[in-house]
Amino acid sequence: MDSLMVYVYQIAFSFSILILISLGLALIFGMMKVINLAQGEFLMLGAYFCVLGSNLGLPLWLAMFAAGLGVGLVGVIVERTVIRFLYGRVLDTLLATWGISLFLMGIVTTIAGPQSQSVPSNMGPVNFGGLNVPGYSLVMIVAALLMLAGTYAIWRFTNLGLLVRGTMQNPEMARALGTNTSMIYMFTFGFGSAITGLAGALLVPLFGASPTMGSFYISKAFITVISGGPWPLIGTVSASGLYGVIDGVVSYELSPVLAEICVLFVAVVMLRLLPQGITGRMRKGI
Amino acid sequence: MLEAKNLISGYGALPILHGLSLRVDDNEYVGILGHNGMGKTTLMRTLIGHIKPMSGSISLDGEPITDAGAHKRARMRIGYVPQGREIFPSLTVRENLMMGALSGAEKRGGIVEEVLADFPRLERLLDRNGGALSGGEQQLLAIARCLCGRPRVMLLDEPTEGIQPSIIDEIADLLLAIRKRSNMSIVLVEQNLDFIQALSDRVLIIHRGNVTRTLTANDLNDPEVVNEFVGMG
């Protein structure tokens, strides 16, 4: 019984981390097709905004929320000043966002220094089905699920979500029906940035903030979204589920390093078998 | 009310319309006939705002809209049913219609249901994906989606292309009924002579990016005139 709960916890934990780091990318890369190499640095920026907010005396949860808003604002600025001129120009986007990524890393290192910083959650261990686990990790798991459900609900059930989906499928036709597609792109990029920033902030109590943390997560995020295939939200959830199980089980049984190797190995095999990704054959979805 | 003057427009530096002028009055259905490559679709894309003309002007009720983007023109209730229909393939039929209704000038509920009353075929397909519909059903959907924006003028580009005859008749009957009960105008680009004759008050002939002749619908009964256009398409 105990070992079952260990698995459940480990898998939920790995799953939630994958969801956190890839959800924003699922929107920006999966939906908008913008290869944003600065995505990892948006995550890092969220972490630092959280540390900053906390140092300024904000309660932790408020600092996290503010960090999400702050990174969302950064995203909107980046979209308006750089990205919007580059839609459909993949190589230029790569170059520009790589530049933004280096700039953000540089400026954060200059201001905050290269060392890692953290904010304690002040939550002790909790009993999880007979298991002693860090209480904050449960908060993080729930937060990841809420962010996922919220994003799905907005995209699936609101008028704004409909306009976003229509615009991503055929921007020219959406314009001819009265949609201000430029605003829709700005909103989507800003929203994707905001949840990335919030994710970065949520990681702080467990993993801290450091200027180079983005590069640690970015590849995993891309692997997850690409494995998901053409329906970014459902795909990212399924891929996070698959890799979450592998990562959770192997880290517990063997070691976290081996778990990463296994995830990568499975990703390579799976993309060989399902080159379109997990949702490649689905006809409906988001 | 919709008026274009001396439009020079095209792709890149290559003009396809050479000083074309056009005027559509309230409740008037204007047909446009011309061989392929003579600028019919370019004209439609310029009127909706996908292409910015190099010179010339477009106005709606005297208000210049030459510099307004497509979404602004749509909100001024210029409706567009493009060639190839451009249905959102992964949105359901209902969602496609809502895309037409959401940004419309009149944001009131029930508009989708109101429009659907004229499209019994679509009512059965509401939860189907747009991409899963047949060509004819997609054409009906594209017209219904446009009507959801309550257009004052509808730009209708080759609605009969590749569509089964029964649906072509349905579309013609519906558009005639709409003319009677509303004030909507239509600019209709078409190669199907019967269809354009049935609907149009006037037919403009476009040749090399200019209007070369204006015919009445009756003129299309004249075999000589028809002969000029046989072999089109």
- The tens digit of pLDDT for each residue in B170-197 reads 999 999 999 999 999 999 999 888 899 9
Structural domain boundaries enclosing A40: 22-213
Q: Which residue has the higher pLDDT, A8 or A3?
A: A8
Q: How many whole angstroms separate alpha carbon B231 and alpha carbon B233?
A: 7
| Residue A260 belongs to some domain of the structure | no
Structure confidence at residue B64 as a pLDDT band (50, 70, 90): very high
pLDDT of residue A26 exceeding 70, the answer is: yes
| Residue A175 belongs to some domain of the structure | yes
Smallest CA–CA distance, residue A180 to chain B, in Å, is 6
Asked if B149's CB is within 8 angstroms of A162's CB, the reply is no
pLDDT of residue A96 exceeding 90, the answer is: yes
pLDDT of residue B80 exceeding 90, the answer is: yes
Is there a contact between A18 and A146 (Cβ–Cβ < 8 Å)?
no
Asked if A173's CB is within 8 angstroms of B71's CB, the reply is no
Is there a contact between A29 and A225 (Cβ–Cβ < 8 Å)?
yes
| Residue A131 belongs to some domain of the structure | yes
Smallest CA–CA distance, residue A252 to chain B, in Å, is 41
| Residue A7 belongs to some domain of the structure | no
Tell me the helix, strand and coil percentages in chain B, rounded to 5: 35, 25, 35
Task: Flag whether residue B91 sits within 8 Å of chain A, measured between CB atoms.
Answer: yes
pLDDT of residue B152 exceeding 60, the answer is: yes
pLDDT of B97 reads 95
Structure confidence at residue B232 as a pLDDT band (50, 70, 90): very low
The phi, psi pair for B83, rounded to 5°, reads -60, 135
| Residue A10 belongs to some domain of the structure | no
Smallest CA–CA distance, residue B134 to chain A, in Å, is 16
* B90, B102, B149 member nearest A169 (Cβ): B90
The tally of domains found in chain A comes to 1
- Stretch among A160-164, B109-113, B119-123 having the lowest mean pLDDT: B109-113
Chain B residue with CA closest to A160: the answer is: B102
pLDDT of residue A199 exceeding 70, the answer is: yes
| Residue A49 belongs to some domain of the structure | yes
The complex scores an ipTM of 0.91
pTM of the model: 0.91
Burial class of residue A72 (count of CB atoms within 10 Å of its CB; 0-12, 13-18, 19+): buried
Structure confidence at residue B233 as a pLDDT band (50, 70, 90): very low
The phi, psi pair for B98, rounded to 5°, reads -65, -35
| Residue A9 belongs to some domain of the structure | no
| Residue A196 belongs to some domain of the structure | yes
